[in-house]
């Protein structure tokens, strides 16, 4: 059994760890509330924009002629992996990294390149993949304008033919305890079903095709911004949950160490009493 000083040092160390994890949990909880409100407010806009694009496309005889819908032979796949800049958030980052590897295995006969958002993903994925650019600094100023610049880079890569398919990989926010790993096709835009109908008869001015040309870049920017916002909220939820579990584990370990310390201290006191009694008996004889 460890001596009393060693046990006291371990209790002190675990208590300090527990204070740190508890503080990190509270910080993440505060940040989560703000990030959750942002993504809840963003979702209706993104969904309405998608519905508007869908309804407009159904009025075209052939929307596949649009460059953003072009389904060409896939030679190069670009994966946009969205992770975080910081760790201590459970399996949040490792799930994205694993999904990126799975996509690479699915396209083992094609070239797979990556654009990373988040230092944690970039540090690991750069060992196995060609990283076209690292956009970890986007979290320093997460605005629609900064994301729009990255969206334009993706659009340029697709239009130039440098890549034939772009996939987003990120954690979708469900609640503080649950994040859903999501793979989403960014470009080319998936063809909408011709069976989609609407009860409203639209009159387009100037024309449906011109409107779609203007609408698609806005749709793509909103789609990427929403994905990053989803990941941002998921990160704080995952970290809050991880720090909550770490605090509980530290509390349990501290209680066990205190019990061990009390037992060791009681044994030491008992031994001292026995030695005193034994000495007194020896003096009597």
Distance of CA 22 to the CA centre of its chain: 21
For the cut 70, the answer to whether the pLDDT of residue 133 exceeds it is yes
The pTM score is: 0.86
Query: Cβ contacts of residue 87 below 8 Å, gap of 6+?
Result: 93, 120
Instruction: Copy the structure tokens of residue 123.
Output: 């540090």
Q: From the candidates 53, 77, 89, 115, which is the catalytic residue?
A: 89
pLDDT at 126: 94
Condensed to tens digits (0 to 9), the pLDDT of residues 158-187 reads 999 999 999 999 999 999 889 999 999 999
Q: How far apart are CA 97 and CA 111, in angstroms?
A: 17
Give the mean pLDDT of 77-85: 97
Residue 265 annotated among the catalytic residues of the structure: no
In the chain, residues under CATH classification 3.40.1380.10 are: 35-242
In the chain, residues under CATH classification 1.10.287.80 are: 4-21+243-284
Condensed to tens digits (0 to 9), the pLDDT of residues 31-40 reads 999 999 999 8
Condensed to tens digits (0 to 9), the pLDDT of residues 41-64 reads 888 988 888 888 887 877 666 655
E-strand ranges in the chain read 76-82, 111-117, 130-134, 165-175, 178-187
178-187, strands of its sheet edge to edge: 130-134, 111-117, 76-82, 165-175, 178-187
- Per-residue pLDDT band for 206 (boundaries 50, 70, 90) equals confident
> Which CATH number applies to 35-242: 3.10.450.50, 3.40.1380.10, 3.50.50.60, 3.30.70.580?
3.40.1380.10
Share of the chain above pLDDT 70, in %: 92
Q: How far apart are CA 168 and CA 143, in angstroms?
A: 18
pLDDT at 71: 85
Tokens 């060409």 belong to residue = 72
Give the mean pLDDT of 102-123: 94
Q: How far apart are CA 269 and CA 193, in angstroms?
A: 81
**195/285: higher pLDDT:** 285
Radius of gyration of the CA atoms of the chain, in A: 29
- Per-residue pLDDT band for 191 (boundaries 50, 70, 90) equals low
- Per-residue pLDDT band for 214 (boundaries 50, 70, 90) equals confident
pLDDT at 61: 61
Query: Cβ contacts of residue 181 below 8 Å, gap of 6+?
Result: 95, 96, 99, 169, 170, 171, 172
Tokens 């800049």 belong to residue = 85
> Which CATH number applies to 4-21+243-284: 3.40.630.30, 3.40.50.300, 1.10.287.80, 1.20.1600.10?
1.10.287.80
- Per-residue pLDDT band for 141 (boundaries 50, 70, 90) equals confident
Instruction: Count CA within 13 A, CB hemisphere, residue 273.
Output: 6
Which phi and psi (to 5°) does residue 13 adopt?
-65, -45
CB atoms within 10 A of CB 265: 13
């Amino acid at each position: 059994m460890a001596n009393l000083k060693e046990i006291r040092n371990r209790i002190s160390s675990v208590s300090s760890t527990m204070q740190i994890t508890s503080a990190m949990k509270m910080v993440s909880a505060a940040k989560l509330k703000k990030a959750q409100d942002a993504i809840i407010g963003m979702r209706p806009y993104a969904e309405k924009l998608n519905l508007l694009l869908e309804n407009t496309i159904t009025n075209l005889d052939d929307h596949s002629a649009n460059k953003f819908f072009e389904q060409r032979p896939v030679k190069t796949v670009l994966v946009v992996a969205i992770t975080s800049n910081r760790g201590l958030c459970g399996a949040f980052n490792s799930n994205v990294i694993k999904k990126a590897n799975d996509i690479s295995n699915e396209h083992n006969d094609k070239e797979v390149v990556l654009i990373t958002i988040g230092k944690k993903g970039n540090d690991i994925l750069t060992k196995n993949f060609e990283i076209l650019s690292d956009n970890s600094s986007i979290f320093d100023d997460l605005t629609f304008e900064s994301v729009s610049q990255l969206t334009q880079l993706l659009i340029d890569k697709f239009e130039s033919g440098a890549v034939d398919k772009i996939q987003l990989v990120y954690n979708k926010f469900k609640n503080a305890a649950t994040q859903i790993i999501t793979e989403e096709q960014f470009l080319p835009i998936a063809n909408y079903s011709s069976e989609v109908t609407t009860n409203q008869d639209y009159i387009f001015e100037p024309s449906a095709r011109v409107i779609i040309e203007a609408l698609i870049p806005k749709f793509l920017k909103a789609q990427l911004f929403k994905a990053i916002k989803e990941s941002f909220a998921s990160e704080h939820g995952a970290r809050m949950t991880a720090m909550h579990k770490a605090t509980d584990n530290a509390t349990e370990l501290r209680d066990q160490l205190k019990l061990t310390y009390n037992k060791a201290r009681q044994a030491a006191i008992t031994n001292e009493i026995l030695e005193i009694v034994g000495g007194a008996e020896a003096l009597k004889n």
